[in-house]
Amino acid sequence: MAVNITDPEWARAELAKFLELTELHRKPERPGGVMRFSASMSNRGDEKEILASAQVVEQILDRVLPRWRTDVPDDRNGLVNRWCQHREAAQRADTVLVRDAEIRARLGDDAPDLNASSMHPWAWEGARALWQSGHFREAVTAAGRKVNAETQNKLGRKDASETKLFQQAFSQDPPKPGQPRLRLMEDDGSDTFKSTHRGAMAFAEGFFAAIRNPNSHADDLPELPEHEALEQLASLSVLARWVDTATVID
């Protein structure tokens, strides 16, 4: 997957700073030449500095290695350095940032890539937590709930949801009391207006019927491969962007 980082050099500098702050070193000897042992090993930076750096680094890792929390072991040397998992993830991410373009070119895979973090926020933020723990089917379901809720909020409705909500929202009929419409373009009576809103309605119906509803029965289905879940999330992002940019007519 392509790295979605605007300024890789800045990201690498932040990773390097974090690695330096969390490096273990032995404290100086006590007065009188008495050596400290394992308990004397500590991070070079103080806790406040490390926590501030980690806040930034975690966001970089989420972009470069979205599944680092589950893919990178977190139990090695945990008693010695609580930042062990972060450090290994930072080292991996730095390598990705340095060599991503080279690897993709050498392996012949430099086609455009899809990154979840660049999707509409309603889709990605709804899915993020479950996605990062590898629950892809549930992540798409959660994102569907998020987009549904944001659409209800935009229309000021709680009496309809999912298929019924979007059927009424994109209906070409004039608005009714309690049933405002979403307009993706001005109603000029053209075939373009009609096809655009007919298509948006059908698109939403298709998502909830063929993706959201089956995914809601995740206990009865195998986990989705990540690339298939990404395709489903992308379709939801399209719907979210239409709703977000549409004009409400009531």
Tell whether the model's pLDDT for residue 110 goes beyond 70.
no
Long-range own/partner contacts, residues 154-158 (CB < 8 A, 24 or more apart) = 154/182, 154/243, 154/244, 154/246, 154/248, 155/180, 155/182, 155/248, 156/180
* pLDDT-derived band at 38, boundaries 50, 70, 90: very low
Model pTM score: 0.63
Residue 25 has φ and ψ, to the nearest 5°, of -145, 160
- At 208-232, the pLDDT tens digits run 999 998 887 767 788 889 889 999 9
Closest-CA residue to 147 (of 186, 115, 171, 121): 121
165 has pLDDT over 80: yes
What's the sign of the alpha-carbon dihedral 107, 101, 230, 237?
negative
Mean pLDDT of 65-88: 79
**Domain ranges (residues) in the chain:** 8-106, 116-249
